[in-house]
Amino acid sequence: MYQVFLGLGSNLGDRLENLSHAITEIKSISKIMTISSIYETEPVAMDIEKPFLNMVISVETSNEAPMLLAQIKKIEKKIGRKLPSHNEPRIIDIDILMYRGVTYEDQSITVPHPQLENRRFALQPLYEIAPTAVHPRSQKTIATLLRNCRDTHKVTQTDFNINYSITN
């Protein structure tokens, strides 16, 4: 079994409902172990100003990265994401941030996420649930990566809650 950290984000429609729907769908393919708080964040590399809601969850799965990515893409499509939507607003974005202790790369995916170290909106919620997890390429803890992150985009913890049960 693998422990995997997934980043979830939404900046279109009912952002909180979109995250909740994603969690429900992810529960159908893997065991959810931990869920971070929800953060409101400035868009990065986008020409829009509508903020994202972001969070990170850890899941336990027997699937390797390509299979998990395929399942995640199906979930995004089911929730209403239109592809391609890089650098555009989106109903839902689910990224594989990191497999604990594993690196992987092929033409469809690189694990850990190649921009993780540069994205405060992913590092802050990841730090909340796994500060001592070690990035398998840099060999630095998430706490160290966050402390050294040069991203200055605003990341604010919210009071938003999603009603969920972690037990599968």
Tokens 């995250």, residue? Answer: 19
- Contact of 8 with 56, CB cutoff 8 Å: yes
Catalytic residue chosen out of the listed positions 15, 81, 119, 120: 81
In angstroms, the CA 50 to CA 52 distance is 7
Catalytic residue chosen out of the listed positions 14, 15, 47, 93: 93
Catalytic residue chosen out of the listed positions 14, 15, 47, 90: 90
Catalytic residue chosen out of the listed positions 15, 47, 95, 119: 95
Tokens at 145, concatenated = 């990566």
Strand partners, 95: 7
Name which of 159, 98, 157, 161 is nearest 124 in CA terms: 157
DSSP for 89-141, written as a single string: --S-EEEEEEETTB-EE-SS-EES-TTGGG-HHHHHHHHHH-TT-B-TTT--B
**Residue 3 three-state SS:** strand
Does residue 93 have an active-site annotation? yes
Does residue 90 have an active-site annotation? yes
**Residue 69 three-state SS:** helix
What amino acid positions are annotated as catalytic residues? 81, 90, 93, 95
